[in-house]
Amino acid sequence: MRKLTLLVLTLLMGVLAQAQMLNPIKWQYSQKQLDDSTTELKFTAVLEDKWHLYSQFTPDGGPMPTEFSFNLPKTVKRIGKVVEPKYEKKFEEVFGVDVYSFPQSKVVFTHKVVNTSTKEVEISGEINGMTCKDEVGCIPMEPTPFKFKLKGKSAEGVKTSAIDTTEQQVVAPDTVQNTASVAGGKSGDCKDLVIEGLVTKEEEKGESESYWFIFLLGFGGGLVALLTPCVFPMIPLTVSFFTKNAGTRKKGLFLAVTYGLSIAAIYTLIAVPFIVAKVPPDTLNEIATSATLNIVFFVIFVAFAISFFGYYEIALPSSLANKADSASNMGGLIGVFFMAITLALVSFSCTGPILGSFLAGTLATNPDPYNILFVMLGFGTALGLPFALFAAFPAWLNSLPKSGGWLNSVKVVLGFLELGMALKFLSNADLVEQWGLLKRETFLVIWTLLAFGLAAYLLGLIKFPHDSKIKKFGPIRIGLATVFAASGIYFATGLFGANLELISGFPPPTFYSYAAKSESKVETEGDNHCPQGIPCEHDFDVAMERAKKENKPLLVDFTGWACVNCRRMEEGVWVDPEVKKIMSEQYVLVSLYVDEKKELPAEEQFTSCLTGKRVKTVGNKWSNLQIVNFKSNSQPQYVVLSPQGNLLAEPVGYTDKNTYLTFLKTGVDGMKAAVAAK
């Protein structure tokens, strides 16, 4: 059991490390001509401090061995196996077996191949494996491609002594360097947008903190789901079942805890396919900003809302629940696990819409497969925790409120909130595609009506099918009605120009409104989507040329139409007079929308060496620029560069005004120092 726990912890740490986009291994390639037809290929793994790589011959049950696969034409033959340096044999408690690892930070593999053709040929392949570090865990390597060109064999034959045995460097496909303006190339070529001269430090951000936040967000969603009619009545019934039928209190407690853990495990397992699939870093972002997907979310959320209002029930096929219920009669731990599955299935009409809301919201805010994992873990933990706690402390059951009409009121309130979220997804689609259907004013009018409608419902002025008569207005109901009525008033002030910082990021940005349309052309010199009227560009190369001409630092804003935190920064930080003044007067601002769906001209499209994906749209292009150069795919991200491409301040993301202001001033000071040094 201890070994299993250690292994799970190690793999979890590896997942976290990979989610932070750590890349502790770099590969270098070279080749040496040994004779007329034989070439020695060299693969050099350069590892960061304390990271280690594993032998090709590591035993089963241990870490993933390093593997080389080759795609060879018929004229090329391999000589023996890939030769590796001497490994270190050591027992690893986590894996429970001896592992063969390389202690050095630079590991060189060699392999000989023979080309019998008289023509030059190209060979390719990829390297797979795993890297580990004691304090962090293990990270499966992304498949690393390689290519070599082999000289053709001379028709007359050449003596070995005449062969040039000087080692020649081969540029690895994943390190191809082009300027940011270069794209395209022949079919089959791969490129990446690399900023010439850029030197960045390895990011040391505490990304794990954000995963704790995502976990807590999912946990909050699970707590909300507990208060629904499908789940709440099950708590005392299930706990009583375990405490009365287990025979002893100790066994009842054990079964209840197992039941709670099973619930958490079931919801967490739903996220596993997203992790196993190894989705490329910008794929989920594309999915999350897809107009089609956002419209699908809109329709689903409206359907969820109507279901919560009581007009119909959304449920999974009853056959699934019946099969799970039958399996729960098996007894023992397996029976308990199937009891948990039964609860998950029969409560879907209540938990499904809530879980869907939190998953969709998480995906839209920060598209990362690991966010899905942590929101599911949090949701399942919150659902399963009460069963364990009440089994441990049965007297607490007496303090639970009785089931009644208030549970249906919870569902109706959630229905109103679902409609509000549905509108957000419709707004995302409208923003990304620039249809102009749901401008800021229209959005705020609908949210205002929903807020007032919810207040009216809580005060008994609106009824739904399953509502019971309100006998008295308790303080919670009156308090909530007041909050929602006040929210409606607050939303309405946005129609008259108020900034609405509390909800920034949810309504369309201030520049996407009827009022701003005529003003923006004057304020932004013809560009109608520069936030807060700060002059900006939307093309990296154009902005860099302007920065060189004006001798100003370049402020790169990696943003997105559907990015909630981007809007929060623009409407909560950029609006500050001091921030706005510095950005307007001392910087050249370029806002690069990574979800811009406008298609690139055919000659500018290319395949990324790093991700293997086709870069077809303007958004794909800026996403590639961000991932390749700054090892990040989250927005917002702000980067300050000199006109020569040097980094002037450490990049920042979503942050507070003071931190952002310090970031801007550091960039300005860095520019002054660079100018003075000339």
Structure token digits, residue 532: 């807060």
| DSSP tag of 105 | S
Weakest mean pLDDT among 191-195, 447-451, 458-462: 191-195
Proportion of the chain in helix, strand, coil states, percent, rounded to 5:
50, 15, 35
- If you write DSSP's letter for every residue of 4-38 in order, what string do you get? HHHHHHHHHHHHHHHHTT---EEEEEEEEE-SSSE
- pTM, two decimals, is 0.52
Whole-angstrom CA distances from 578 to 99, 364, 586 are 58, 31, 12
Q: What's the average model confidence in pLDDT over 410-425?
A: 84
Structure token digits, residue 214: 């995502």
- Per-residue model confidence (pLDDT) at position 234: 64
Are 374 and 215 in contact by the 8 Å Cβ rule? The answer is yes
Nearest one of 604, 596, 655 to 285, comparing CA atoms: 596
Q: Strands 130-133 and 190-191: what pairing?
A: unpaired
94: left (phi over 0), alpha (psi -120 to 50) or beta: alpha
Give the residue with greater pLDDT, 538 vs 244.
538
CA dihedral 664, 669, 675, 678 (to 10 degrees): -130
Give the residue with greater pLDDT, 122 vs 130.
122
Q: Strands 588-593 and 536-537: what pairing?
A: parallel
- Chain segment 458-499, per-residue pLDDT in tens: 998 998 887 877 777 888 889 999 999 999 999 999 888 888
Residue 59 has pLDDT above 50, yes or no: yes
Q: What's the average model confidence in pLDDT over 14-19?
A: 41
Give the pLDDT band (50/70/90) at residue 592.
very high
| Residues forming a β-bridge with 25 | 47
Phi, psi of 316 (to 5 degrees): -75, 160
Cα separation, 398 vs 489, in Å, equals 40
Whole-angstrom CA distances from 66 to 44, 94, 107, 133 are 12, 19, 11, 16
Nearest one of 214, 208, 366, 369 to 277, comparing CA atoms: 369
DSSP E strands: which ranges in 288-406?
A: none
Give me the chain's average pLDDT, please.
76
Q: Strands 52-54 and 97-102: what pairing?
A: antiparallel
Cis peptide before 280 (omega within 30 of 0): no
Please name each of the domains of the chain with its CATH number: 2-175 (2.60.40.1250), 207-438 (no CATH), 514-677 (3.40.30.10)
- Per-residue model confidence (pLDDT) at position 631: 76
Are 298 and 422 in contact by the 8 Å Cβ rule? The answer is yes
- Chain segment 314-365, per-residue pLDDT in tens: 654 555 555 545 554 555 667 667 777 766 665 665 666 666 666 655 555 5
- Per-residue model confidence (pLDDT) at position 564: 75
Amino acid letter at 503? I
Phi, psi of 68 (to 5 degrees): -115, 125
For 550, how many CA atoms within 13 A lie in the half-sphere containing its CB? 15
Q: For 652-660, which contacts have Cβ atoms below 8 Å and span 24 or more sequence positions?
A: 653/205, 653/565, 654/565, 654/568, 654/569, 655/569, 655/573, 656/573, 657/572, 657/573, 657/576, 657/579, 660/569, 660/573, 660/579
Would you tell me how many other CB atoms lie within 10 Å of the CB of residue 549?
Answer: 10
- Per-residue model confidence (pLDDT) at position 164: 47
Structure token digits, residue 667: 């960039």
Are 675 and 547 in contact by the 8 Å Cβ rule? The answer is no
Cα separation, 338 vs 331, in Å, equals 9
| Residues forming a β-bridge with 638 | 557, 652
Residue 36 has pLDDT above 60, yes or no: yes
Q: What's the average model confidence in pLDDT over 106-110?
A: 92
- Chain segment 544-567, per-residue pLDDT in tens: 999 999 999 999 999 988 777 888
Structure token digits, residue 364: 């839209």
Are 473 and 538 in contact by the 8 Å Cβ rule? The answer is no
- If you write DSSP's letter for every residue of 512-532 in order, what string do you get? SSHHHHHHHHHHTTT-S--GG
Residue 259 has pLDDT above 80, yes or no: no
Phi, psi of 438 (to 5 degrees): -130, 75
Cα separation, 489 vs 75, in Å, equals 77
Cα separation, 635 vs 561, in Å, equals 10
CA dihedral sign of residues 178, 184, 187, 191: positive
